[in-house]
Structure 1
Amino acid sequence: MRSPASDGSVWARLPHELGDAVRPRIPEIARACVDGIAAEIPEYSGSFGRGPTRVAAIEQTRRGIERDIDRVGTPALWQADRLAEFRGHGREAFHNGLSREAAQAAVRVSSRVTWRWIADIAREAGLSGDVLYGAAEGMFADVETSMAAISEGYRAAEAAMTGTGERHRRLLRALLGGRTPAEVDGLIAASGLPVPARLAAVAFRALPGAPEFPPGLLPEHVPADPSGDPPAALTPAPDPDLAGLVGLPAGWTAAVGPLVPPAAVPESFRVARRALELSARGLLDNPGPVVWCRDHLTTLLLLADEFLVSQLASATLAPLSGLPERRREQLAETLLALVRTRGSAPELGRLLELHPQTVRARLKKLGELFGSRLDDPGERLRMELALLAERALPGGE
């Protein structure tokens, strides 16, 4: 039961020689860790002392130590899947009838045993005291973060058994459904959550055949029902609370709506669901499984009503209709730069990477097509919106 680092920068500063020296000894260290846990913690003595459970514990410990040693000399931050793993240890301890204190003590014992081995190996390899100090610093940080994750998973399992999970789901449904403030306040009080000033709604989408939502990706205090109807979650602190969603398996996508007062949660959820829809159609550029609506507000606004925005584009850009496709693209590109910057031909040329004479020819043609509309601020705004919407719409540039 080894712990991951809460801050990989400590491990990243250690020399590769430390990892090279420790790696061949990891199977021995893992056995020593399990023996130490069995000897010092009565709740583990029976299961870790013999049989298949001992073999499985040694293998799990070996993998954990390998992952830790792989961070030596390699810049890396705490991984969300490792957080989830230690929350899982906490839930597993609860369901196996172990105490939370015993599960946390196992982390301390394992870390202490591992540290003794690493210290001896480092001295044998002739590594400096600074290396030993750095390894100790990294391991102590690991212990604290791992124990907190175990506690969180343990409490989550307790909550599910005592009905807190169900109260959280009721709160989630009430807020998404726009229930009255009095009803919501009562459910917040019953859930045990502090009354949040603002909340972000999270919408989930799973493709047919996708695996079940993995446990442990969301902290226990987040009201969530990712497999419900509709699949959703709520959080007052999206960035830390949703960090684990980077571990969503293939086929799953999540969209995080804007932070809003509790009464406006249905709107946050509506925006998040719209973002999921646009992302599925390839109209939002997001590199991972999580779509943050705050990064796509302009596109979400432009495509809030695709029929109206297409009407705006058709009416506003009518002078460009009938032109050959390539010519229309060139003039639309120049028109967007013009209405955005009101720049001169040389300025637009630098922006578009074109010769000023080419830009002058295009500006002359645009003047013929749009006339005095190019000097009207209101018309220029409509042109900019229409051109941006045209790019964002299916079939746009």
Structure 2
Amino acid sequence: MAMDLAAALEAMHAQLPTLADDVVAAIVDEVPSYRDAFSGPMGETISNAVELALGGFLTLASRGRTADLSSAPAVEGSYQLGRGEARSGRTTDALLSAYRIGARVAWRELSSTAVAHGLGAEVLADFAELVFAYIDEQSAAAVAGHTDELATTGRVRQRLLERIAHHLLRGSPVDQVAAAAERAAWTPPSTLTAVLLPESQVRQVLARVSPATLTVVDPPELEDGALLLVPDAHAHRRASLLRVLADRGGLAGPARPWLEVRASYDRALRARAAGFELDTETHLVELVLDADRSARDDLRAKLLAPLADLRPGTAEKLADTLRAWLLHQGRRDDVAAALFVHPQTVRYRMGQLRERYGDRLDDPETVLALTVALG
């Protein structure tokens, strides 16, 4: 029987070139995604690789049940094949189908040779078990390679994307930002919008915005929460972004040319510090008035100096009346309605104010300054 097995293995080695071609042909026929990949010179290269893998199997088969499948040189080849398939954009489904087809064709032809050399049922059973164990080992190695390549590629690209955000927020030179974008294969958008949100909401928001969105790691000046830079969420698209952020504790800064996104981020930070939510653009007046709170307080104190010698309660009422008078452009009934007082009360208070301010209440620059100070 040993002589029969040796003769059978020798015959199998002799048929390897033909068997390798048959395996490749079957894979091309049954797995459409491999038709182009296996054509031309690449087909010959793959056929040679299949032949080497089958030769490795026959070497193991000559050792019988003691063969260590995991140490076969073809295992490393399968691992690298899996990595290459990931880089080519093919899935593990196609890869595993190819291995199953290869196992089927190899077993059919090699078993025919074994039978022709008089190998018994027990030997054939062992041989079959070894064939499919060998293919399982190769398949597992290929899947591991595919998975590792995707994970590595994903990590590398994420680091490259993070570098773009780093340059944008730190005001790096344009050529550095552009080079970082090119290395990451990230196409610069027309605009970027800074979005602040709780870290627990990042995944849900990312699933609903552009896949080119940049996730910023450890953004400057942000003590808690997360920062996303969302591309091309300007004009009518802003409404869609705001709908995504609604009820998620998010806050969107203004859309800015992509190289100027730091301005969007700064405004979002100021708006959040002021307690605003969702859309910074609905709070522009407040943000302008509070851009330099100390300066505004000084301006207010300077312009209300004519009231400084009055009792605090009286000074406050007159300041409120002056504010309403400015905002309602002197329409007495509207001022009275806003203050919940009688129009005659408004007339009386405005008389007091004119006594203290005189003609300055008709001076455009003074009116502007008072509007800002009391706004």
TM-score scaled by structure 2?
0.51
How many residue pairs get aligned? The number is 220
> Mapping of 1:1-397 within 5 angstroms?
161=154, 163-204=156-197, 212=200, 214-218=202-206, 219=209, 220-225=211-216, 230=222, 231-235=226-230, 236-237=232-233, 238-241=238-241, 243-246=243-246, 248=248, 253-279=249-275, 284=276, 286=277, 290=278, 292-388=279-375
Shift of 1:363: 0.8
In structure 2, distance between residues paired with 1:274 and 1:383: 24
> How far did residue 353 of structure 1 move?
4.1
Alignment deviations for residues 313-354 of structure 1 (CA, whole Å, 9 cap, x no partner): 110111222433432332222211222333243443345443
In structure 2, relative to structure 1, the CA distance for the partners of 1:340 and 1:234 (3 Å cut) is same
- Larger relative contact order (C-alpha < 8 A, sep ≥ 6)? 1
Instruction: Determine helix, strand or coil for the equivalent of 1:260.
Output: strand
Q: RMSD of the alignment, in Å?
A: 3.2
Structure 2 spans left out of the alignment, 5+ residues: 1-85, 95-149
Query: Given that residues 162 and 216 in structure 2 are in contact (C-alpha distance below 8 angstroms), is that contact kept between their aligned partners in structure 1?
Result: yes
Cα distance in structure 1, aligned partners of 2:289 and 2:301? 14
Does the 8 A contact of 2:300 with 2:374 survive in 1? Answer: yes
Structure with a larger share of its residues in helix: 2
Deviation of 1:254 after TM superposition, in Å, equals 4.0
- Using a 3 Å threshold, how does the CA distance of structure 1 residues 198 and 361 change in structure 2: closer, same or farther? same
Alpha-carbon distance in 2 for matches of 1:278, 1:100: 51
Q: Which runs of 5+ in 1 are unaligned?
A: 1-93, 103-156, 389-397
- The percent identity for this pair of structures is 28
**Structure 1 runs of 4+ with >6 Å offset:** 98-102, 157-160
- Distance, in Å, in 2 between the alignment partners of 1:319 and 1:192 is 63
Contact preservation (8 Å) 2:213, 2:229:
yes
Q: Deviations over 1:352-397 (max 9, x none)?
A: 4432211111111111121111010100110111112xxxxxxxxx
SS at match of 1:323: coil
Alignment partners' CA distance in 1, 2:93 and 2:307: 72
